């Protein structure tokens, strides 16, 4: 009596869990860029599809022949620390220019199956010129070409355009660069995950974008993410829709955010999570995804022990800012749970003294200020602190990284 | 087709417009039956055809001279007039007229402009007209009382309609192919033209077969009456003018025969090939399909990609005017949903230890690398620990598989009776061995007994065989003991054979060993 069948079940569970977490980390997996991950998702497509659909209401599209899997993550973003990033060393976030160019480029690419970098740039020049809101695109400026190339390389990285000949990067040096692209229009369209198209969300006619968009910005984001299946009105119409909406909104936060404090949830979401059904589903979902649940009085977090479903880790030593973040967090949690930024600067100075080999960027006059700012960014990205004026407050989950008695002694011994 | 040299020289060069205007003026004059024009007449005519630029005598004479050199104009001297002054003589003496070549050249240009301006058409009316004229011819040929002139005019009409059919079809086909090739500059009008063309073609092809059939029938009827007779009577009715170069009737009849063959080629080829009207049908049908496909693609791509393109454009505007840096990133995440999830990776070794109602501050902290705090780097136990050592796993699995097989083998060995024995003789067994035995007994009992009442079965892999004889009536229950309990059942006669079994071993010994062991 062999246990082969059991082993297959175990293997399947592991693979499904891994596929779920891979998709959480990379909602668009290309066969070219990540063949193993794509293959895994392709093989375990059905249960993974069901998992996302049931818990989060997110649809997963797997195109075995075209070679990509796309998880359409629908949610109103509240965390600005996950920007698009440039495909360069440093991985700096996109700026306004790059985001704008990315969208214009995508719009222009939709019309053509094959194009060259020069033709595309011309089209972007024309499209920008006729639009009263968009700034003109000037190919004679190196900075502009650089931004254009960054936008293109993002599209390249997700597989929406394919470089047939040449290298996009060469356009930075010369606007005469010869690069040939093939465009995947379907994939381009699938880059938009929001259920409502931006062009459907009409900005009031007669008022210019410049006036209106900034005023209504939050509302615009909400309207982009509105899904009809929960009922058209703000109040869901049926009990079923209400439950569906609660389940999806709770799980979207749980699976996407590092920690969900109770005050991040609306009263009804909180009630749902605390209900027997909610608790049961939470544990089942986490179990199927290979995540651990940490439930405390102040909130819940899903932990990925393998660090698959995350873009960044904490605590970690992959950068001076992260190490500083951990050490500064000790300072923040040690006191009343709140501390002035000013005080952290003094601590940062001490850290820079303690670690003489830390990056040059943090040396010099306001190095400590920069270090504190970067470290606080890390902590905010993991939902551990809140910045309120000049005061940093620890959030409840921060204490899980507090120094234990013994390790505190160790530190004192060594330093 | 060989065009005489210099025939169309006048259409090129910087004075081409003047040359064309002059020829045009002569053409107009010819229509009013004025064939020879003097210098002043030419000037007057030029104004009436729309040439309003100043033109001195020298230029005009030069232009006329060039046209004459190209043999498009003839010059004659007019001696019939009375000239009162020498000046008058010089101006009015020379008279210009179009040569035949000039007429042809002008006709060529006019025709070319006509083709450029015209659009081809497929008209069912033309087909009907052809059928009607043929019908008339049939009737007229059958009636000797009909004057030859009527036959002539009907034939000319028929040929005119055929010519119209050929010309229109040629042009229409040209346009159709261009339409199929063209990839739209202006998608909207392009789409409209295409859909209109499809409707037009569908209209035309409806009943095309019947019309073509009717025409072919009437062609046959005319031929039955005699094409030679038709042409002869038409020739008589034509009343050809006399010309200097030979009998015009020969060339005329030749032309009629060629035209008739043209008609047959369209509707009833002599060699039984495909009539051209049939090809027209095929072309039209193909074009309809191709156009519909293109239309589909246009509507499809318009519906999907234009709305997506509009979405991207609108997003670009929002990005351009979004209030703060952070808003850009929020818009990016919301619209594209390409961002990663983010999670902690450090957990308690046993998460169950802490209750869910505990506060974070009261729960023990997770174990953060002490080295990270003290030296700013981790030992990476958390990470490397998670990377699965495949070799070790493989080895472990192989080891467990080996152990499993060994246990199985031991169990079989233990069960191998080496001959027939009674079930009760097993006496005491390990629990795992009993499980194997029960498995075998189950298999045997589900198999149908042979005529001696013996059940026979093998394990799934066919390596172990069991023979189960019915217990004798007087026997009591067989009792087997294992560390976990007691099994009782009918005391069957059992024989179990394993591969490489211990045939040398005596059955009683095995059972006895088990019983005492």
**What's the pLDDT tens digit per position in A67-118?**
999 999 999 998 999 999 999 888 899 999 999 999 999 999 987 888 899 9
* Nearest residue in A to B386, CA atom: A306
Work out how many CB contacts closer than 8 A connect A with B.
296
* Nearest residue in A to B339, CA atom: A82
Nearest alpha carbon to residue B428 among B510, B503, B496, B497: B510
When CB atoms are compared, the residue of B308, B318, B334 closest to A213 is B318
At what angle are helices A142-158 and A96-109 packed, to 10 degrees?
Answer: 60
Q: Where are the alpha helices (DSSP H) in B182-275?
A: 187-205, 208-225, 227-238, 248-267
- In which band, very low, low, confident or very high, does the pLDDT at B272 lie, cut at 50, 70 and 90? confident
CB contact under 8 A, A110 and B309: yes
Element (H, E) at A70: strand A68-72
Predicted confidence at residue A96, as pLDDT, reads: 95
Predicted confidence at residue B500, as pLDDT, reads: 62
A287 touches chain B (CB under 8 A): no
**What's the pLDDT tens digit per position in B35-44?**
888 888 888 8
How close, in Å, is residue A241 to chain B by CA atoms?
22
When CB atoms are compared, the residue of A200, A381, A399 closest to B361 is A399
Task: Tell me which residue has tokens 């259409």.
Answer: B11
How close, in Å, is residue B305 to chain A by CA atoms?
6
- Alpha-carbon distance of A49 to A230, in angstroms, equals 20
Taking contacts as CB-CB distances below 8 angstroms, the residues of chain A near B383 are 307
Sign of CA dihedral B40, B43, B48, B52: negative
> Would you tell me which residues 369-398 of chain A have a C-beta closer than 8 angstroms to some C-beta of chain B?
381-382, 396-398
Contacts of A186 (CB under 8 A, 6+ apart): A66
Query: CA gyration radius for chain B?
Result: 54
A310, pLDDT greater than 90: yes
**For residues B155-163, average pLDDT:** 90
When CB atoms are compared, the residue of B351, B354, B370 closest to A292 is B351
Best A55, A103, A203, A313 member to test B by mutation, with max B CBs in 10 Å, is: A103
This complex has an ipTM of 0.93
How close, in Å, is residue B30 to chain A by CA atoms?
56
Alpha-carbon B242 to chain mean position: 61
Taking contacts as CB-CB distances below 8 angstroms, the residues of chain A near B341 are 21, 24-25, 255-257, 309-311
Supply the mean pLDDT for chain A. 88
A84 touches chain B (CB under 8 A): yes
Predicted confidence at residue A300, as pLDDT, reads: 93
CB contact under 8 A, B344 and A327: no
When CB atoms are compared, the residue of A80, A259, A294 closest to B330 is A80
**Do A100 and A79 touch, CB atoms closer than 8 A?**
no
Sign of CA dihedral B427, B428, B431, B437: negative
Angle of CA points B141, B146, B147, to nearest 5°: 115
A76 touches chain B (CB under 8 A): yes
Nearest alpha carbon to residue A376 among A331, A407, A412, A411: A331
Tell me the percentage of chain B whose pLDDT exceeds 70.
Answer: 88
How close, in Å, is residue B420 to chain A by CA atoms?
25
Query: CA gyration radius for chain A?
Result: 24
**For residues A158-174, average pLDDT:** 92
- Alpha-carbon distance of B173 to B159, in angstroms, equals 21
**What's the pLDDT tens digit per position in A212-238?**
888 889 989 998 998 888 876 556 578
When CB atoms are compared, the residue of B336, B343, B361 closest to A191 is B336
Taking contacts as CB-CB distances below 8 angstroms, the residues of chain A near B369 are 315
A334 touches chain B (CB under 8 A): no
Task: Tell me which residue has tokens 């087997």.
Answer: B480
**What's the pLDDT tens digit per position in A109-159?**
987 888 899 989 988 988 888 888 899 999 999 999 999 999 999 999 999
CB contact under 8 A, B338 and A209: no
- Alpha-carbon distance of B329 to A404, in angstroms, equals 37
CB contact under 8 A, A397 and B360: yes
User: Cβ of A263: how many Cβ atoms within 10 Å?
Assistant: 10
CB contact under 8 A, B322 and A323: no
**What's the pLDDT tens digit per position in A35-74?**
999 999 999 999 999 999 999 999 999 998 889 999 999 9
How close, in Å, is residue A62 to chain B by CA atoms?
15
Predicted confidence at residue B278, as pLDDT, reads: 86
Lowest mean pLDDT among A172-186, A375-389, B48-62, B456-470: B456-470
Taking contacts as CB-CB distances below 8 angstroms, the residues of chain A near B304 are 189
Nearest alpha carbon to residue A106 among A190, A37, A219: A190
Q: Where are the alpha helices (DSSP H) in B273-420?
A: 276-301, 307-321, 325-336, 370-375, 381-386, 390-415
CB contact under 8 A, A192 and B312: yes
Beta strand A391-394 with A161-165 is unpaired
């Amino acid at each position: 009596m062999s246990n082969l069948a059991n082993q297959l079940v175990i293997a399947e569970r592991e693979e499904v869990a891994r596929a779920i977490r891979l998709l959480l980390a990379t909602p668009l997996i290309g066969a070219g860029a990540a063949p193993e991950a794509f293959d895994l998702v392709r093989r375990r497509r059905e249960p993974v599809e069901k998992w996302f659909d049931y818990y989060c209401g997110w649809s997963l599209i797997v195109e075995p022949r075209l070679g990509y899997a796309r998880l359409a993550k629908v949610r109103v973003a509240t965390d600005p620390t996950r920007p698009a990033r440039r495909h360069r060393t440093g991985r700096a976030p996109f700026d306004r220019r790059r985001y704008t160019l990315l969208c214009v480029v995508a719009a222009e690419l939709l019309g053509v199956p094959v194009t060259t970098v020069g033709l595309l740039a011309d089209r972007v020049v024309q499209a920008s010129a006729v639009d009263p809101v968009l700034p003109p695109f000037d190919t004679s400026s190196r900075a502009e070409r650089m931004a254009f190339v960054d936008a293109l390389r993002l599209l390249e990285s997700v597989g929406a355009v394919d470089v047939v000949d040449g290298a996009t990067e060469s356009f930075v040096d010369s606007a005469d660069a010869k690069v040939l692209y093939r465009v995947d229009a379907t994939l381009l369209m699938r880059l938009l995950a929001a259920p409502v198209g931006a062009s459907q969300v009409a900005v009031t006619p007669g008022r210019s974008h410049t006036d209106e968009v900034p005023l209504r910005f939050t509302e615009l984001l909400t309207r982009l993410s509105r899904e009809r299946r929960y009922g058209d009105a703000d109040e869901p119409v049926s009990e079923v829709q209400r439950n569906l909406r609660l389940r999806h909104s709770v799980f979207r936060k749980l699976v996407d955010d590092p920690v969900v404090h109770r005050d991040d949830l609306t009263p009804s979401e909180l009630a749902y999570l605390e209900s027997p059904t909610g608790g049961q589903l939470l544990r089942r979902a986490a179990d199927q995804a290979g995540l651990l649940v940490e439930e405390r009085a102040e909130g819940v977090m899903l932990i990925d022990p393998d660090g698959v479903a995350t873009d960044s880790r904490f605590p970690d030593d992959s950068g001076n800012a992260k190490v500083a973040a951990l050490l500064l967090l000790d300072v923040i949690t040690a006191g009343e749970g709140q501390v002035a930024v000013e005080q952290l600067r003094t601590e940062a100075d001490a850290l820079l003294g303690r670690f003489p080999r830390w990056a040059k960027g943090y040396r010099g006059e306001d190095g400590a200020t920069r270090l504190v700012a970067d470290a606080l960014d890390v902590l905010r990205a993991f939902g551990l602190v809140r910045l309120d004026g000049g005061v940093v407050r620890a959030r409840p989950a921060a204490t899980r990284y507090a120094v234990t008695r013994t390790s505190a002694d160790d530190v004192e011994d060594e330093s | 087709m060989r065009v005489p040299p210099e025939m169309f020289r006048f259409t090129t060069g910087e004075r081409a417009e003047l040359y064309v205007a002059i020829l045009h003026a002569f053409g107009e004059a010819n229509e009013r039956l004025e064939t020879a024009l003097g210098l002043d007449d030419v000037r007057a005519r030029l104004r009436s055809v729309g040439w309003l630029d100043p033109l001195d005598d020298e230029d005009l004479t030069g232009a006329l001279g060039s046209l004459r050199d190209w043999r498009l104009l003839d010059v004659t001297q007019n001696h019939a007039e009375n000239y009162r002054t020498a000046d008058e003589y010089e101006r009015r003496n020379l008279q210009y007229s179009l040569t035949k070549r000039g007429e042809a050249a002008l006709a060529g240009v006019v025709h070319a402009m006509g083709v450029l301006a015209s659009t081809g058409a497929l008209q069912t009316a033309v087909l009907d007209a052809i059928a009607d004229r043929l019908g008339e011819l049939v009737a007229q040929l059958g009636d000797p009382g009909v004057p030859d002139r009527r036959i002539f005019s009907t034939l000319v009409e028929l040929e005119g309609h055929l010519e119209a059919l050929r010309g229109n079809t040629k042009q229409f086909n040209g346009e159709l192919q261009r339409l199929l090739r063209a990839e739209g500059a202006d998608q909207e009008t392009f789409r409209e033209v295409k859909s209109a063309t499809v409707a037009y073609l569908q209209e035309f092809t409806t009943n095309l077969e019947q019309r073509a059939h009717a025409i072919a029938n009437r062609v046959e009827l005319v031929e039955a009456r005699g094409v030679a007779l038709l042409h002869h009577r038409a020739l008589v009715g034509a009343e050809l003018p006399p010309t200097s170069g030979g009998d015009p009737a020969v060339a005329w009849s030749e032309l009629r025969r060629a035209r008739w063959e043209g008609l047959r080629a369209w509707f009833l080829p002599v060699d039984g090939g495909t009539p051209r009207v049939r090809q027209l049908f095929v072309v039209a049908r193909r074009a309809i399909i191709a156009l519909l496909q293109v239309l589909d693609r246009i509507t499809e791509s318009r519906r999907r990609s234009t709305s997506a393109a509009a979405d991207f454009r609108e997003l670009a505007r929002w990005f351009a005017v979004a209030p703060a840096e952070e808003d850009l990133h929020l818009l990016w995440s919301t619209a594209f949903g390409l961002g990663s999830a983010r999670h902690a990776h450090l957990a308690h070794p046993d998460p169950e230890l802490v209750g869910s109602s505990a506060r974070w501050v009261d729960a023990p902290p997770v174990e953060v690398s002490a080295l990270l705090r003290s030296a700013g780097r981790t030992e990476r136990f958390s990470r490397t620990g998670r990377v699965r050592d495949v070799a070790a796993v493989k080895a472990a699995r192989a080891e467990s598989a080996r152990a499993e097989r060994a246990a199985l083998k031991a169990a079989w060995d233990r069960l191998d009776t080496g001959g027939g024995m009674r079930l009760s003789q097993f006496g005491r067994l390990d629990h795992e061995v009993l499980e194997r035995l029960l498995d075998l007994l189950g298999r045997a009992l589900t198999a149908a007994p042979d005529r001696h009442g013996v059940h026979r079965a093998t394990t799934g892999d066919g390596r172990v065989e069991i023979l189960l004889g019915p217990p004798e009536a007087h026997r009591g229950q067989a009792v087997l003991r294992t560390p976990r309990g007691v099994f009782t059942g009918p005391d069957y006669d059992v024989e179990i054979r394993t591969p490489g079994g211990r045939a040398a071993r005596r059955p009683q010994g095995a059972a006895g060993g088990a019983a005492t062991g």
